[in-house]
Structure 1
Amino acid sequence: MLQSKYSYHIFICIAIILGNVFSQDNSISGWVLDNETNKPIKDVSVYIQESNLITSTDLDGYFNLFVCPKCNISIDEQNDSKDIIIVFDLIGYEKKNIQFSDLKNRNQIRLKKQSIELKSIHIHDDNIYKSDLLLDTKKLEENIRSNLANTLSYQPNIGVISFGNVTSKPIIRGLSGDRFLLTKDGMQIGDLSQTAIDHVITLDVTEVSNIELIRGPRALFYGSNPVGGVLNTLIFGNPKTRVDKFYKKIKFGGESFNEGIFGNVVFFMPIKNNQLNIYINNRQTENQTSPIGTLVNTHSMTSNFKIGFTNYQKQGYINFVVESFNMDYGIPPSSEGHILGVDIVLKKNTLQINAHRDISFGDFNQLDIKYNFIDYEHSEFENNVDYFSVQLAKNTHHFKLEILSEMISIGTELEYRDFIPAGFYWTPNTDETNVSFYGYIKKNYKKYNVLGSFRIGHIIIDPKPNYTSYANLEVDEITKRNFSYIASSLGFERKIDKWTYKGWFMQTMRPPKIEELYSDGPHLGTYAYEIGEPNLDLEKIYGIESIISYQSNSFNVSLTNFLNYSPYYYQMTKMGECEEEMVLGDEGYPCSGPEYDFIEWGSGPGWLYMYDTKGVEALIAGFEFNLKYNLKNLIVNYDFSYVLGENISFDEPLSYINPAKHILNVGYDKNSMNYNLRLSKIHSQNRLGEFETYTPSAFLMDIILSYKNNRQSFTLQINNILDETYYNHLSKIKFIAPEPGRNLVLSYNLLF
């Protein structure tokens, strides 16, 4: 029975969720360790912000700092003071600021390495929340691939859904689309990548400095439906990086499986109280290859230019950014309608305004105001044709205002989108207005941290029908829709010696997208004729998650369980499938009679399968296990992840669920060199949704060599070194070609 099938996950989650004081003299002490190797770090500067009280760590990473920033108050009063910040700083590592009160019962401070360090000056805007950093600068360099999804594919429970390598996008715990949020410096990217498989993410991975994964109550600060979490990318050249002299950063490299090359340059130019940042990037790839041959029409050409100007003031800054992102890429051919493939031309222009101010207003100490204007256009061409068949465009105005502190934060968000389709695509022009108010609170209750958040909002979707009739929708169904939504989350965290316990409950709501409501026409890039459902209701998901972890100097282990239930889960699925080979014969196509209502004839050279949107009852559950061991220069890291999805309405598995995955990394650090062997075992997927096919298991071996110092880094990856022929279950073209074979990846960075 379904109930017993998931009883393990429910039991673990509920069981966990129900489930050294500083000395009183005027000093604090502890040890500073490397976050990856757990080795002590010497010569770390430890000081009180805005004071001349400073010490440094010894050979064992030990420090002892005399604390008297306000010598007219007692140490107990200092413990309660929220404005006392202890700073840990060393070139080659990320600077860490910790409030004095947070150092209670904490005698170990861990610093994260930076491959290339800009000498930054304090600019007030410190990140007041702690996140699970998925990839820091060093790990990004060691995993970097041609796009964000493939770079993240070596992480547990992250799969890659694709229509060829260029269009790859991450899928987290079986959740795709906007069931997890992808953001750029805290703002949603503003493209159409989460609406369809052929729409690329308008972000080049080489402009990313770190990727953080945000889950739990704080995720609602970014949107109403982050049940899978928030992948927030931190960008080189954002206003938080202020330099005291002229810096140039150059990066270039390439991959062998698609003859890809890339290069970019970033300039950081301080001008008195101002700073000018300029970013220029180009990337080119040819057709991708696999052990069985070349997949045609999978080339790409990307150019990205960005200029930012920041005026720094005593208590904050104001920042302006103008960016142009352009990309031409191909979709491989298929017998389903476009036998020569589809070419896509994408243009995106962005204007950003970011203002930050240090304030003193009750418990709040930061005020942030952000505005984005995005002009996006995506045109689809039949291969070698000079006029588009489908064009999808939108203009987006996005405004955010937030008042922040570590313990309580509130914000409001307003987003207006004007969706403008054109060509052989009959979805109506549509205006969408979304306004929301949200908050986050953290309270210390006895020995627990209690976390809570909410987001309430209202969205208006107002279509403007431009035809008197549609192929599959009735005109009177295409009406203005109003959706009010509320999302909330409640969680806790508790530390006992070396053990940490976390858990939370989250309830989210997602209004349907324009395409899910009103689509009616062929979508060339997906080889589908898409039909919306104008009467869709809000998608609701209820999630529960628990984490238990143990951390010592040499040994870390953690277990995460999650369970998500939705009584109304959107899916756009194929309406049927022809059992015969779709080849033109003397008597015409098979499946061409009136009884075959799941094929649209006359689209492209011949036909397209029809897809419609429906809501089903669904359940997704799984777990993630991590084990990490450090022995001198040796680091061993093992991850196992598993997710299972069930379509309860039809008593069958959910489609496109990533299979179970083992990842073993064995690394060795010596001086400035790192040597890493990565072994991946991807299980077969035989739990198949409607119209899915079986995918066999695969074993992959990668070798990564890297060198780094404070000014330059070099990385060499040899992926799939055994040249194994393997298939990605989440690939929409796995019946055409397997994944890449042996692949050489080179990357070089220089800061001067």
Structure 2
Amino acid sequence: MTSDVACAAHRRTSPRLAPLPLAAALTFSAFAITSLSAQAAEVSTQTPPVAAAPVTPSGAPEAALPVTFVTGNPLGRAAADLAAPLTELDGRALALRRAATLGETLDGLPGVSATSYGPNVSRPIIRGLDGDRIRVLQNGTASLDASSLSYDHAVAQDPLSIERVEIVRGPAALLYGGNAVGGVVNTIDNRIPREALNGISGATDVNYGGANRERAGAAQLEFGNGQFAFHVDGFARKSADLRIPGFARSAQQRARDDEDTKQPSGTLPNSDGQTSGAAAGASWTWADGYAGLSYSGYDSDYGTVAEENTRIRLRQQRLALASEVRNLSGPFTAFKFDFGYTDYEHKEIESGVTGTTFKNHGYEGRIEARHAKIGPLEGALGVQFSQNTFSALGEEAFVPKSDTTNVALFALEEWAVNQAVKLSFGARIEHSSVKPSSGGNERFENLPSRNFTPGSVSAGAVFALAPAWSVAVNTSYTERAPTFYELYANGPHLATGVYEIGDAQAKMEKAFSTDLALRYENGPNKGSVGVFYSRFSNFIALNNTGQTVEGEDKPLPVYQYAGVPAELYGFEAQGRARVWQGYGDVDVELRGDYTISRNRDTGEALPRIAPLRLTAAVIYGLGHWGARLELVHASNQGRVPSNDLTTNGYTTLGAALTYQFKAGGAQWLAYLKGENLTNQEVRLASSVLRDIAPQGGRAVRVGLRTTF
């Protein structure tokens, strides 16, 4: 499997490291190193290093190594052996899907949509759930940015720096906590090399185009002597204002606007941006494990399309440590340790003056111990711990400074009953504490501290019906503690243009969830179709109250967090079939998903749910050449809350042409992409800004990827 990566040089500064978490991390890492036993590894969960990929027909799958999923299963399993619905994206498939944001990159995969706050900000939504119900991880630990707090806050990761993405849909991700009830998106890079490197290898990726005339470049270099391995990477991208097919504001919104409201068209004002970052890492590797650390920096400066004169400046620095030892003797056969410390800052700047500064710094650690077989059971135990301090400084701060600590214990057990039946059981118990501080702001005085002890359990099974067919089922009960912003928000949020109010007495969110899937895999032909259902008590939703309060320049709509009984259900389907083999290969790919949601008290739909989406693609490969033609249809979304506007359906056409070749001792992939060739007005129902910020119009993008 080819590793894709990134990046161009970037300025780095030293993070402010708290001594206690750093000492704890080093202690755990040292314990992992000294615990190793000299035996061969039974299960490998490492990310492969950058290497030159063999030139294969572009329409056929790339030379595939067995994929071991590390997300949601500490034991390491291929997707077909897991009850959880999983999607993995890497190699050429990731290269051709890469966009400026993580949400846009993953949008359209089964069950995955995106928040889309303009072209520079987009976070994944899974099965209609977003915010703190989706865990966005970086190599297995939280990135600790502020993207779940607000739709205008970017995920502090650039797709150019990512080698692989693993997506666990639904409640099977509960080992990562109640705030993963919707699923987990784990981005994986090789910044801490997980296996021995000999010699020098690297990769570059450059592309230009798109509706925002983006220029992006990335480079990576890795080298080692078989024992010590080193990694450096960097990336940069810059874009102009987004070109759009017509008016920025929808027809429904324009009908509501005052006569003096500006009505831009052709381009989306204040939608330009630039991002850059770099990382360095090193590790000591041996036959049965590794230990290493990495440091990375990320900077972004982009306009927020909700306010014409407001920009966001974002900076994140991250220190990560990781270690794994395998094939130990005794009660535990393997230990795995991951730790990340993050220092994050986000400024909202209006007309050159900083209005609010958001800061988030803290750490998260995770230790997994795989135990020796107990009768028929294989399993793992683990502990996860985290602490972070979030503050919003400035007159327009809408949340108080808050300290959140969390510690959790979890376990996963598997039982292979026979060749046809595999069972799995998981459980997690955690304790969470949230302590607010007014910081002299009278809106946040006398707020209570809150403590929660959520617990979750799950059970799953895979039944092999025939060599190519299987059925997977999952059932779980999950509890999620409300976050500091769901508890304590109270004020105007400059970048989103709304007044947000929390509920300091909010109770835990509880959900019963299940999903069922039928799977098929036979050579190049594979597919799955599944259904899911989640029933929530006290679903904490941010609702438009229909009221307004006076702002500095205009009235602000009031949005309030409130718990409601809710349910979400729907289906997901995907498949790929080889329909022609001869003068080249022709594959047909189909995907579809649909989520229905409702407030069980009122019958009203929950906000920002993607409509029925269908995708059909034809893929052709001949020698070094490959081509893809893709049609995407989204229905109109008429099921919306009473204070929201509906969205129209759309049908877009995309195309891609690729050419793989070998030159100068390197492998090259050149590609040409056409995006929204039908120049449709696309307004995502899942976007809070759908009525003032459509997606980009017709565009072309060219790119070149090299590995050596």
What band does the TM-score fall into relative to the shorter chain? 0.7 to 0.9
Secondary structure of the equivalent of 1:566?
Answer: strand
Task: Give the distance between the partners of 1:139 and 1:151, measured in 2 at CA.
Answer: 11
Aligned to 2:456: 487
Secondary structure of the equivalent of 1:213?
Answer: strand
**Given residue 565 of structure 1, which amino acid in structure 2 is its aligned partner?**
R
Aligned to 1:311: 284
Kindly tell me: are residues 646 and 373 of structure 1, through their superposed partners in 2, closer, same or farther at Cα, counting changes over 3 Å? same
Aligned to 1:711: 667
**Given residue 181 of structure 1, which amino acid in structure 2 is its aligned partner?**
R
Task: Give the distance between the partners of 1:525 and 1:711, measured in 2 at CA.
Answer: 44
Task: Give the distance between the partners of 1:649 and 1:84, measured in 2 at CA.
Answer: 48
Residue in structure 1 matching 2:103, options 139, 149, 172: 149
Task: Give the distance between the partners of 2:363 and 2:185, measured in 1 at CA.
Answer: 22
Aligned to 2:323: 355
Displacement of 1:241 in angstroms is 5.0
Instruction: Judge which range, 488-497 or 460-469, deviates more.
Output: 460-469
Is 1:500 paired with 2:470? yes
Kindly tell me: are residues 627 and 522 of structure 1, through their superposed partners in 2, closer, same or farther at Cα, counting changes over 3 Å? same
Q: Which runs of 4+ in 1 moved over 6 A?
A: none
Displacement of 1:468 in angstroms is 7.0
Task: Give the distance between the partners of 1:361 and 1:454, measured in 2 at CA.
Answer: 26
Aligned to 1:209: 163
Task: Give the distance between the partners of 2:314 and 2:485, measured in 1 at CA.
Answer: 19
Q: Deviations over 1:215-237 (max 9, x none)?
A: 46752232333232222222144
Contact 1:227 1:506 in 2 (8 A): no
Residue in structure 2 matching 1:638, options 590, 594, 607: 590
Aligned to 1:621: 569
Aligned to 1:467: 440
Aligned to 1:726: 682
Task: Give the distance between the partners of 2:168 and 2:693, measured in 1 at CA.
Answer: 34
Kindly tell me: are residues 464 and 718 of structure 1, through their superposed partners in 2, closer, same or farther at Cα, counting changes over 3 Å? same
Contact 1:486 1:508 in 2 (8 A): yes
Aligned to 2:507: 537
Task: Give the distance between the partners of 1:680 and 1:251, measured in 2 at CA.
Answer: 27
Instruction: Judge which range, 247-256 or 187-196, deviates more.
Output: 247-256
Displacement of 1:328 in angstroms is 0.7
Aligned to 1:76: none
Displacement of 1:646 in angstroms is 0.6
Q: Deviations over 1:111-166 (max 9, x none)?
A: 96269x9xxxxxxx998233434322121122222222112123233222122111
Aligned to 1:99: none
Contact 2:312 2:349 in 1 (8 A): yes
Displacement of 1:363 in angstroms is 6.1
Equivalences for residues 88-127 of structure 1 within 5 A? 92=53, 113=62
Aligned to 2:490: 520
Contact 2:171 2:180 in 1 (8 A): no
Kindly tell me: are residues 526 and 240 of structure 1, through their superposed partners in 2, closer, same or farther at Cα, counting changes over 3 Å? same
Aligned to 1:388: 354
Q: Deviations over 1:44-75 (max 9, x none)?
A: xxxxxxxxxxxxxxxxxxxxxxxxxxxxxxxx
Displacement of 1:734 in angstroms is 2.7
Task: Give the distance between the partners of 1:82 and 1:275, measured in 2 at CA.
Answer: 19
Q: Deviations over 1:162-212 (max 9, x none)?
A: 221111222111111122222121112211111210000111111111222
Is 1:265 paired with 2:238? no
**Given residue 233 of structure 2, which amino acid in structure 1 is its aligned partner?**
Y
Secondary structure of the equivalent of 1:653?
Answer: coil
Aligned to 2:36: none
Is 1:175 paired with 2:136? no
Secondary structure of the equivalent of 2:302?
Answer: strand
Is 1:430 paired with 2:402? yes
Residue in structure 2 matching 1:441, options 413, 423, 426: 413
**Given residue 249 of structure 1, which amino acid in structure 2 is its aligned partner?**
A
Contact 1:359 1:367 in 2 (8 A): no
Q: Deviations over 1:687-725 (max 9, x none)?
A: 111311121111111111112357221222101112222
Kindly tell me: are residues 469 and 554 of structure 1, through their superposed partners in 2, closer, same or farther at Cα, counting changes over 3 Å? closer
Task: Give the distance between the partners of 2:639 and 2:385, measured in 1 at CA.
Answer: 41
Kindly tell me: are residues 236 and 743 of structure 1, through their superposed partners in 2, closer, same or farther at Cα, counting changes over 3 Å? farther
Displacement of 1:647 in angstroms is 1.0
RMSD: 2.7
Is 1:698 paired with 2:650? yes
Displacement of 1:93 in angstroms is 7.6
TM-score, length-scaled by structure 2: 0.82
Is 1:342 paired with 2:310? yes
**Given residue 636 of structure 1, which amino acid in structure 2 is its aligned partner?**
V
Aligned to 2:305: 332
Larger RCO, structure (CA 8 Å, separation 6 or more): 2
Task: Give the distance between the partners of 2:678 and 2:411, measured in 1 at CA.
Answer: 50
Kindly tell me: are residues 450 and 341 of structure 1, through their superposed partners in 2, closer, same or farther at Cα, counting changes over 3 Å? same
Is 1:670 paired with 2:642? no
Kindly tell me: are residues 216 and 175 of structure 1, through their superposed partners in 2, closer, same or farther at Cα, counting changes over 3 Å? closer
Secondary structure of the equivalent of 2:408?
Answer: strand
Contact 1:217 1:440 in 2 (8 A): no
Task: Give the distance between the partners of 2:349 and 2:599, measured in 1 at CA.
Answer: 36
Aligned to 1:399: 365
**Given residue 680 of structure 2, which amino acid in structure 1 is its aligned partner?**
E
Equivalences for residues 587-626 of structure 1 within 5 A? 598-601=547-550, 603-626=551-574
Secondary structure of the equivalent of 2:689?
Answer: coil
Displacement of 1:644 in angstroms is 0.4
Task: Give the distance between the partners of 1:426 and 1:669, measured in 2 at CA.
Answer: 53
Residue in structure 2 matching 1:158, options 96, 101, 112: 112
Task: Give the distance between the partners of 1:644 and 1:480, measured in 2 at CA.
Answer: 35
Kindly tell me: are residues 698 and 487 of structure 1, through their superposed partners in 2, closer, same or farther at Cα, counting changes over 3 Å? same
Flag structure 1 segments of 5+ consecutive residues without an equivalent: 1-33, 36-80, 95-110, 118-124, 577-597
Task: Give the distance between the partners of 1:165 and 1:744, measured in 2 at CA.
Answer: 16
Is 1:286 paired with 2:240? yes
Contact 1:93 1:112 in 2 (8 A): no
Q: Deviations over 1:72-131 (max 9, x none)?
A: xxxxxxxxx99599xxx998489xxxxxxxxxxxxxxxx96269x9xxxxxxx9982334
Task: Give the distance between the partners of 1:485 and 1:693, measured in 2 at CA.
Answer: 35
Is 1:685 paired with 2:637? yes
Aligned to 1:575: 545
Q: Deviations over 1:315-354 (max 9, x none)?
A: 3221111111111111124xxxx5x331111111111111
Displacement of 1:568 in angstroms is 0.8
Kindly tell me: are residues 164 and 276 of structure 1, through their superposed partners in 2, closer, same or farther at Cα, counting changes over 3 Å? same
Task: Give the distance between the partners of 1:215 and 1:663, measured in 2 at CA.
Answer: 19
Task: Give the distance between the partners of 1:695 and 1:493, measured in 2 at CA.
Answer: 39
**Given residue 328 of structure 2, which amino acid in structure 1 is its aligned partner?**
S
Kindly tell me: are residues 518 and 743 of structure 1, through their superposed partners in 2, closer, same or farther at Cα, counting changes over 3 Å? same
Aligned length: 614
Secondary structure of the equivalent of 1:377?
Answer: strand
Contact 2:469 2:521 in 1 (8 A): yes
**Given residue 652 of structure 1, which amino acid in structure 2 is its aligned partner?**
E
Instruction: Judge which range, 178-187 or 539-548, deviates more.
Output: 178-187
Greater radius of gyration (CA): 1
**Given residue 430 of structure 1, which amino acid in structure 2 is its aligned partner?**
S
Kindly tell me: are residues 82 and 330 of structure 1, through their superposed partners in 2, closer, same or farther at Cα, counting changes over 3 Å? closer
Displacement of 1:625 in angstroms is 2.3
Kindly tell me: are residues 276 and 552 of structure 1, through their superposed partners in 2, closer, same or farther at Cα, counting changes over 3 Å? closer
Flag structure 2 segments of 5+ consecutive residues without an equivalent: 3-39, 66-72, 80-85, 247-265
Contact 1:711 1:750 in 2 (8 A): yes
Kindly tell me: are residues 480 and 703 of structure 1, through their superposed partners in 2, closer, same or farther at Cα, counting changes over 3 Å? same
Secondary structure of the equivalent of 2:128?
Answer: coil
Task: Give the distance between the partners of 2:480 and 2:132, measured in 1 at CA.
Answer: 9
Task: Give the distance between the partners of 1:698 and 1:233, measured in 2 at CA.
Answer: 30
Aligned to 1:377: 345
Residue in structure 2 matching 1:413, options 354, 362, 384: 384
